[in-house]
C-alpha cells in the first residue's frame, strides 16, 4: 500500500463568488419552476432542481464569469473541463435526469442543456484553463462551447 495521500486542491471561491452564484441559481430556479438545492461538495455538480414532491428533475452546474457574452465569443466560447463533463454525462446516463450548465455573465444568465442528444463528433477539445492563479492543475483538456449553444433567460438577475 502506498503512503502517498491525495493532495486536496485549494479552494479559490470567494464570498463574492458565492453571492453571485446564488443570484444566478435563484434566477435559474425561477425560470425552471424548481427549487435549486445546493449539493454537498463531494457531488460533481452544484445543484439539484427539486419539485414540490421532492423529486429531482434536473442537475445544474452554475458558473459566474466577469466576461461578457461577446468577450467569451471572441475567446472561442466557454471552456469546460473534459473530466467534469465526463462525470456529468455518466450521472445523466445513470439517472435519466437532465443536466444544465448555467452561466451568469454581466449581460445575463445563459443556460445549455447538456448530454440530451448524441454529441457532435469530434468535440472541440483543447488544452487550456486558468493561468492567473499559478496553479498547474488548472490546465487540462477542456471542451469549448460557443455561446450560440446557450439560451438566455430573459429576466434580470
Question: Cell 472561442, residue?
Answer: 76
Q: What is the pLDDT of residues 40-84, one digit of tens each?
A: 988 888 999 999 999 999 999 999 999 899 998 888 889 888 898
Rounded CA-CA distance 7/16 in Å is: 26
What pLDDT score was predicted for residue 113? 92
Q: What is the dihedral of CA 134, 140, 146, 152, to 10 degrees?
A: -70
How far, CA to CA in Å, does 11 sit from each of 15, 24, 45, 81?
12, 20, 15, 16
Q: What is the pLDDT of residues 96-113, one digit of tens each?
A: 999 999 999 999 999 999
What pLDDT score was predicted for residue 1? 45
Which of 144, 4, 124 has the alpha carbon at shortest distance from 74?
A: 144
Q: Is pLDDT larger for residue 76 or for residue 123?
A: 76
Q: Is the pLDDT of residue 124 over 80?
A: no
Grid cell locating 132 = 492567473
Q: What is the pLDDT of residues 4-49, one digit of tens each?
A: 444 554 555 688 888 999 999 999 999 999 999 999 988 888 999 9
What is this structure's pTM?
Answer: 0.81
Phi and psi dihedrals of 120, rounded to 5?
-70, 135
**Which domains are seen in the chain, by residue range?**
15-131+138-153 (3.40.1350.10)
- Chain centroid offset of residue 106 CA: 16
Phi and psi dihedrals of 136, rounded to 5?
-60, -25
Amino acid at each position: 500500500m502506498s503512503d502517498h495521500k491525495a493532495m486536496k486542491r485549494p479552494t479559490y471561491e470567494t464570498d463574492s463568488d458565492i453571492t453571485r452564484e446564488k443570484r444566478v441559481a435563484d434566477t435559474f430556479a425561477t425560470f425552471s419552476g424548481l427549487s435549486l438545492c445546493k449539493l454537498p461538495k463531494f457531488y460533481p455538480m452544484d445543484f439539484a432542481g427539486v419539485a414540490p414532491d421532492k423529486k429531482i428533475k434536473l442537475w445544474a452546474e452554475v458558473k459566474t464569469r466577469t466576461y461578457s457574452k461577446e468577450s467569451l465569443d471572441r475567446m472561442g466560447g466557454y471552456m469546460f473541463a473534459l473530466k467534469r463533463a465526463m462525470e456529468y454525462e455518466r450521472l445523466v446516463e445513470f439517472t435519466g435526469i437532465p443536466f444544465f450548465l448555467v452561466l451568469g455573465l454581466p449581460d445575463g444568465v445563459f443556460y445549455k442543456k447538456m448530454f440530451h442528444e448524441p454529441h457532435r463528433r469530434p468535440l472541440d477539445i483543447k488544452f487550456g484553463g486558468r493561468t492567473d492563479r499559478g496553479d498547474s492543475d488548472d490546465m487540462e483538456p477542456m471542451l469549448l462551447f460557443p455561446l450560440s449553444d446557450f439560451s438566455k433567460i430573459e429576466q434580470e438577475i
